Structure formats: structure tokens, C-alpha cells
Amino acid sequence: MPVSRDLGPMAAPKPAFWTRSRIRSVLVQFGFVVLLVLLIQFLLANTMQNLARQGIASGFGFLENRAGFDIAIAFLDFDRNGTYLDAFWTAIVNTLVLATLGIALATLLGFMIGLARVSPNWLISRLAAVYIETFRNIPLLLQLFFWYFAILRPLPGPRQSFDVAGTVFLSNRGLYMPKPLLDSGAQLALLALVVGLIFALFMARSARRHRAATGNSVAVAHWWLIGLVGLPVLTWFATGASVEMSIPSLQGFNFRGGMVILPEMLAALLGLSIYIAAAVGEIVRSGIQGIDHGQTEAAQAMGHTRGQIMRYVVIPQAMRIIIPPLTTQYQSLAKNTSLASAIAFPEIISIIAGTTLTQTGQAMETIALAMLFYLTVSLFIAAVMNFFNWRVMRRSF
Amino acid sequence: MKIYPILTTAAALAVAAGGAVSAQTLEEVRERGHLNCGVSPGVTGFSNPDDEGNWSGFDVEVCRAVAAAVLEDADAVRYTPLSNTERFTALQSGEIDMLSRTTTRTLNRDTALGLNFAPVMFYDGQGFMVRQDMGVSSVLELDGATVCTSAGSTTELNLADYFEANGMSYEPVRFDRADEVLAAYDAGRCDVYTSDRSGLAARRLVMTNPAEHVMLPETISKEPLAPAVRHGDDQWFDIVTWTVYALIEAEEYGVTQGNVDEMANSENPNIARMLGAEGSPVGEWIGLDNKWVHRAIAAVGNYGEIFERHVGPNTPLEIERGMNALHTNGGLQYAMPFK
């Protein structure tokens, strides 16, 4: 039977070019982008027109004006004579400090809870489960109020504050502690300590590598001694450094001098990290349980202890499962710092979308700044976590 | 095809964006059948919902008076409780028709925020409350104190300015909502609670032990609290403005909720004209019917009655008329003539 390879007459007539799938999808997408741009342009123009018609001020010129209000917690120097832009920076730093400390604490606590959750000890694993179910299922705002008033109510006023040796004071005004005032020599010595630590870490790492490559161990104790003690002490005496302590003392209504952790800061930090730690705990548990049991059995067969199995076999593999959902939790912690404005922690919402908004009345601009900030922070967290994820994935097992 | 939802969304957004704020507030209110009024989310005496969700208070009466004038029904009001930071945006965007919410009239709000303020309903000033056992008798003794306040009010700026001018320092603790300011002050977080004096009087009532707290004598600012509307609708601005004047004028002429029907036939031509007697042009001028003032007063009473009912000396707030007395009694309340 002759087999015709000529499919010519059978082939469908060549379709019109706009119905070809690739061209069509390009056309549709192009059309969509044009529509989107037009829509955004229309929204902006319409908004500007309405603002102008009602005589409402717009633009970011207000950022140069004098703010005229004070901020209790400021990691940057800020006072009422600063501009709204200075207030914005102060709010950014406050928010970032809270988010960073919160993430660190939530991670630490979350890993402990996660490990406890998979513990063979019935009591420990139950307690971890109770922790997770309690804190995960109560709205964060309520938890923040709970911590805030749980901290405030039992504490006495500043005149009846608890004190430790007349130097550390705890009252409902906050925890006041002595603050070391470093002169230039002491600052140099501190710097030397950091340099020494990095140096010692570097030496320890190269020693580990040497041992991994050759099997011969190299002594590193003396490097640690030089890095952590020798260098800083030498700098200290070479510069004749001295440290004075600023000790808080009660003057008038409140303590002056020293440094302080305000109740708002403490409550915000506790509330955020305890809440997110519950979610982190579940992520860690699922990561650990997601590792095939065969891995553990194989490691057991090789005579590893339980701790070793966790540390060298399970956790490194579990990290692949843990990191992606962890990113989401970190982002949500960073965004949830906005709730801390309810308990008077001066962050972006309180300073920018609160005080600045009402004082200047420029709702669009201030809300846009706040949105830009949260977007930047979230994308930054995603970028950092993606980098870690990439490093974990790169390791092959 | 996936494109349809996108197009629909785009179209919906375009429609939403097209809904520009109209200059025809009166028409809108009439078509809608109710007035949208922005109030405080719960300040005793000024605007407070009861357990059935019925709002009452000094600020609420202004909304009711306008609704009575415009819609012939003082109850045709939908109240929107607004925080400090929400209030102006809600008005600018057209979510509410008017704002009657212990809001201070300032240059910035009158100009850059695109608002028009009706006559002042309540002349207030910023005061300070402290615990009695602190033994403080003046604001000038408060150097270094911790001060609780709510974010996004004129209070914050006055506070900073006053302490700056007197070379004193303070530590601000700033909350989003007035409820939390109160709770934190009550829990001992702050030495001082600062707000408008009327607000302090209202909030002292809900503290654990009101008798423990005293108001310091100084008033550090002028806080003329007035209803507001948005720029761009002069007729609506006139209606709200003259409704407030009508309440004040009624007190001056002795027109009350009880006698307004008799007074409508008064021999005094001023009163008869205001209340819309035969041949009176008050309705025609403002674009309503002749009986609009009559209805407003029948619904809420005159200014003095409203004051006595909600904030006066015989209420828990115990606020004296003071600056809010009529000009004939040495106060500042002075209505423009209904001519």
C-alpha cells in the first residue's frame, strides 16, 4: 500500500497571523499593558484634578517642614525641631529595629518550640502544642494589648520602682539601666574586640577546612586568646581608655540618665515574636517531619546519637522545606509591626500615617510613603531569604 | 479566557475612579434619603451610641438639626464613627456629607485640607489632667513628666509648643485611639493626660476612680470645635452654617423646642421671618422650604437646650457655659442676623 508522505492537501490552511498563539498572546499582553498604563494615568489625573478642584494641597514638599512633635522611642536623634522627613527616618529605624529584634527572637523561640514539638518526651511535645495552638489562634492585636497591660498594671510608679543595687530600676515608666559612656579609647578597644573576633573566626574556619582536607587538626586556641583578649586589652592600655557609667536617678517625675527599655517597646517585641514563633514552630515541625524516616534510620544504623542525627542529617535537609514558608512569616512579622502603633510604639503607621497625616492633611502622600516602606522591607526580606534558600538548595546530599 | 476578569476589573476601577466628588451634596442627600454624618467613636456627652446603636450627644444634635432642615426627619442620619486620622479623608472623599466631630478649626484644615468650617459649636481649649496625689498645681511644674495623648490631633503640636516655650521636657506616649490613651493613663503609664478640656471631662467619667484625678488650671490653646464640610459646594456649606446659626439665634430670641410652634406666629418680625412665617424668604434664599429652621429647632431645641442636655452643669460632664454663653451673657456665641 503506498504511503503518502505528502500531507500538503491535508494540512489546514495557514491561519491569519493574529490567530497564531504566540503572536496572539503577545498582542493580548501588549493590549493589557497599554490598558493598565491608561488606567493608572487616568486614576492619577482624576485624583489630581479632584484634589485641585477641592483646593487640597498635594506633593511631597511638606517633608521639609518642621514636624513640631516629639517621639519617645528614637534610635536616631530626633526632636520637635526636626522636619517631617527626619520623623520619617526615625520611624523607619524604629520599625526596622523592632522587626529585626522580633525576627531574631521569633526564630530562636520558634525553633525551640518546633524541636520540642517533635520531642519523644510526651510532656514537652504537648506543652509545645499548647503554646502553638494558643498563640496562633488569638488575634495579634489582642495579644499586644494583653502584653502591654500585663506589663503596665503590676508595675509600680517610678517613685516606688523595684531596684537592683540602686542602678537598675523597673517601674511602669520602663526598665532603666546604667549606660556606659565610652571615650574614644574605649570605642577603639571595642572595635578591636570586633576585629579580633572576626580574625579568630576566620582562623578557626581555615583550621576546620584544613582538617577536612587533610585529616590533621590545627590548634586554634591561641588565636581565640589573641583575638578576644590580647588585641582589645592592648588597645585599651595603649589608648588609656576609660569608661564612665551614666546611672539613672529619679529626678522629679521620672528617671534621668542611663538607658531605658520602654514598656511599649517590650510589649511590642514580646507580642510580635511570641505570635510569630508559634507559626515558626509549626513550620520547623513540618520541616523535620517532612524528612524521610529512612534518613534517620540510616544515621542510627551508623551509630549516630539523636543529637547528631538532628544536627547533621535532619535539620540541614529540613531547611529546604523550612525556608520558603519562613520567609512569609518574617514578612508578616515586619508588616505586623504596624499593629504596635495601637500600644503607642512610634513606628511608621503611628508617625507617618498618623501624626504626620493629620498635621499636614496629606493622606495620599503619607499613605504612599508607608506603603512604599512596607513593600521595600518585604521585598528585601524575600531577597535575603531567597539567597539563603539558594545556598541551602545548592548543597547536594 | 483569562482576559475577561482582568478587563472587568479594569472597567470596575475606571467606573470607581470616575465617581468624582459632586458639588450637588443637597441633591445627593435628598436622593439617598439620609444624611451621612461623621462623628467621634464614643465621647460621653458629644457623640455616643447607646446599647441599641442610637447615637446621641452634642455633636450628634448638629447632624440631626441638618437632617431635620433638609430631609424633614431628624432621624434620617447615618453616623460614621471616625478616628482622628480618618476624619478628613472621609469628608474629602465624599464618604460623609458633613463632619461634626470635636474638630478644631485651623488654618491648615481650612485651606490645605480643602475644608470649610461652619460656625463654632463649642469653644474649647487644651487642658491637663493629673492624679491628685501627685501634688501638682500647675502645668509649669510638669518638667520631665510622661504625657499620654492621642495621635493626629492639634493636641500633640500644642503640647510640644507649650513645653518648648517654657523650656521644659516631656516624654510623649502617643496612641491611635482615645480609648487606649485613657486605659494607659488609668494604668499609671503616664503622669499627665492631655486633651481638649471637654474631652478630659468626658473621659474622667469612665476612669476607675474619677475622684482621684484633677484638671490643672491652665488652658494652653484655643480649640474652636466646629462642624466641617468640603470645599466646592457653597450651597451645602450655607445650609450647615446657617443651621448652626439658627440654633444660636433661637436661644437669643427665646425660641425653644417646646414653644417653637407658638413662636412661629410671633409678633416679633425677626422671629416670624426666621421660623418661616407667611412671605418669609429664608427658604427661598437657601434653597430649602420656609420651615427648615422651624423643623431644626423642633427636632433638637436651641443651642442652650442642646448644651444643657448633653454637657452642661447638670450633666455628668459638669461643663459651665463660660465662653460658650451667648454674646449677650458675656460669651462668644453670636449668630449672624437672619435677614
Element (H, E) at B99: strand B98-99
Mutation choice for A interface testing from B21, B156, B182, B194 by most A CBs within 10 A: B156
HSE, side-chain direction, 13 A CA sphere, residue A380: 11
Angle at A232 between CA A228 and CA A236, to 5 degrees: 155
Distance CA B72, CA B29 (A): 12
Tell me if chain B has a CB within 8 Å of the CB of A29.
no
- The whole-number pLDDT of residue A328 equals 96
Tell me: do B211 and B97 sit in the same domain: no
Q: Give B329's pLDDT tier (boundaries 50, 70, 90).
A: very high
Contact state of A69 with B160 under an 8 Å Cβ cutoff: yes
**CA of A170, closest CA in chain B: separation in Å?**
13
Tell me if chain B has a CB within 8 Å of the CB of A51.
yes
Structural domain total, chain B: 2
Q: Give B151's pLDDT tier (boundaries 50, 70, 90).
A: confident
B242 in a structural domain? yes
Phi and psi at residue B166, to the nearest 5°: -100, 15
**CA of A120, closest CA in chain B: separation in Å?**
44
Tell me: do B96 and B240 sit in the same domain: yes
Contacts of A307 (CB under 8 A, 6+ apart): none
Which residues sit opposite B193 in a β-bridge?
B129, B148
Contact state of B113 with A56 under an 8 Å Cβ cutoff: yes
B83 in a structural domain? yes
- The whole-number pLDDT of residue B7 equals 44
Rounded to 10 degrees, the C-alpha dihedral A157/A160/A162/A164 comes to 130
Of the candidates A204, A206, A188, A200, the one whose C-alpha atom is nearest the C-alpha of residue A228 is A200
Distance CA B215, CA A96 (A): 39
Contact state of A172 with B187 under an 8 Å Cβ cutoff: yes
Domain that holds residue B151: 126-221
Tell me: do B234 and B108 sit in the same domain: yes
Distance CA B45, CA B107 (A): 27
- The whole-number pLDDT of residue B110 equals 93
Tell me: do B118 and B233 sit in the same domain: yes
B168 in a structural domain? yes
Q: Give B18's pLDDT tier (boundaries 50, 70, 90).
A: very low
Q: Which amino acid is at A140?
A: L
Contact B247, B303 (CB under 8 A): yes
Of the candidates A381, A357, A382, A361, the one whose C-alpha atom is nearest the C-alpha of residue A369 is A357
B180 in a structural domain? yes
B15 in a structural domain? no
Count of CB contacts below 8 A, A vs B? Answer: 148
Mutation choice for B interface testing from A80, A172, A358 by most B CBs within 10 A: A358
The last residue of one of the domains, among B200, B221, B242, is B221
- The whole-number pLDDT of residue B228 equals 97
The last residue of one of the domains, among B221, B253, B283, is B221
Distance CA A165, CA A315 (A): 44
What are the CA-CA distances from residue B103 to residues A157, A383, B100, B125 (Å)?
34, 45, 7, 12
- The whole-number pLDDT of residue B2 equals 43
- Write out the E strands in chain A: 162-164, 168-171, 174-177, 179-182, 243-246, 249-251, 254-256, 259-261
* CATH number of the domain that residue B149 is part of: 3.40.190.10
- The whole-number pLDDT of residue B3 equals 43
Element (H, E) at B117: strand B115-117
Which residues 337-376 of A are in CB contact (within 8 Å) with B?
A: 341-344, 346, 349-350, 353-355, 357-363
Percentage of chain B exceeding pLDDT 90 = 76
The last residue of one of the domains, among B189, B206, B221, is B221
B7 in a structural domain? no
What is the length of chain B?
Answer: 339
Q: How much is the mean pLDDT over chain B?
A: 90
Q: Is B135 left (phi over 0), alpha (psi -120 to 50) or beta?
A: left
Tell me: do B130 and B216 sit in the same domain: yes
* Among the partner residues B21, B109, B188, nearest to A361 by beta-carbon distance: B109
Q: What distance lies between CA A42 and its chain's CA centroid?
A: 37
**CA of A69, closest CA in chain B: separation in Å?**
6
- The whole-number pLDDT of residue A144 equals 96
- The whole-number pLDDT of residue B9 equals 46
Of the candidates A87, A117, A6, the one whose C-alpha atom is nearest the C-alpha of residue A356 is A87
Tell me: do B134 and B187 sit in the same domain: yes
- The whole-number pLDDT of residue A250 equals 87
Tell me: do B241 and B313 sit in the same domain: yes
- The whole-number pLDDT of residue B13 equals 44
- The whole-number pLDDT of residue B23 equals 66
What are the CA-CA distances from residue B221 to residues A9, B111, B157, B181 (Å)?
93, 20, 10, 20
- The whole-number pLDDT of residue B4 equals 44
- The whole-number pLDDT of residue A15 equals 67
Mean pLDDT throughout B1-11? Answer: 44
B61 in a structural domain? yes
Mean pLDDT throughout B38-51? Answer: 91
Distance CA B19, CA B21 (A): 7
Tell me: do B27 and B89 sit in the same domain: yes
Q: Is the reported ipTM for this assembly greater than 0.90?
A: no
Contact B126, B112 (CB under 8 A): no
Task: Extract the residue ranges of chain A whose pLDDT is less than 70.
Answer: 1-18, 395-397
What is the length of chain A?
Answer: 397
Tell me: do B118 and B131 sit in the same domain: no
**For residue B17, is pLDDT > 90?**
no
Radius of gyration (C-alpha) of chain B in whole angstroms: 22
B2 in a structural domain? no
Query: A308-335 burial string, b = 16+ CB within 10 Å, else e?
Result: ebbeebbbebbbbbbbebbbebbbbbbe
Contacts of A39 in chain B (CB under 8 A): 10, 13-14, 17
Contacts of B187 in chain A (CB under 8 A): 149, 152-153, 172
* Among the partner residues A35, A55, A342, nearest to B114 by beta-carbon distance: A55
Tell me: do B119 and B235 sit in the same domain: yes
Percentage of chain B exceeding pLDDT 70 = 93
Which residues 31-50 of A are in CB contact (within 8 Å) with B?
A: 32, 35-36, 39, 42-43, 46-47, 49-50
